[in-house]
Amino acid sequence: MIHIINYGLGNLGSIKNMLKRIGVEAEIIDKPEQLEDASKIILPGVGAFDSGMSHLIDNNWLEILNRKVLTDKLPVLGICLGMQLMTKGSEEGALPGLGWMNAKVKKFSFDEGSKLKIPHMGWNKVIPAKSSKLLEDPENENRFYFVHSYYVESENETESLLWTHHGLKFVSAFERDNIMGVQFHPEKSHKFGLKLLKNFVERY
């Protein structure tokens, strides 16, 4: 069973409905002990970094998440803020992140007069950095829907999976072993998001 973690911040219903479209049942859980029988984990999230980490800490998610992801090696997919929480930390807040990936989160900052907007919002292309079971065909153009003011900067480029340009080149997806994160919203990305979620379900 795929478990979608409800820690107070996330577009949970849309993710569950998208999975239902590909014939997959998922359970939204709000208690750490419910994670014990998970086969895969989705960590969604919208909002501020420290708020997300505080919810995970205050509701006792850290111990079981670290055990399931780092020890048991369950496949986990972070979405938007969920991806950012997998890093070491963010310029948006003071709390450390989960530290699963060698990356940090930085704020978009453009010169005054720039036509580039913050947040980065809307559809954008992604450029494969490496091949992955998460991607259907890295040679085909994929587009996803983004909404974010902070971006991931990888400290180990071997973990970078997709790149996207918005004033600069940033990591829009990363992957190492069983740990995956995407900055965009697959649940809002129509056929492209549907295929990515299908690959996560079927190939890991």
Which residues are part of the catalytic machinery?
80, 185, 187
Whole-angstrom CA distances from 92 to 46, 52, 151 are: 13, 11, 10
ω into 119 cis (within 30 of 0): yes
197: exposed, middle or buried (Cβ count in 10 Å: 0-12, 13-18, 19+): buried
The helix or strand, by DSSP H or E, that contains position 1, with its residue range, turns out to be none
193 C-beta neighbours (distance < 10 Å), count: 23
In 3D space, the residue among 10, 3, 8 whose CA is nearest the CA of residue 41 turns out to be 3
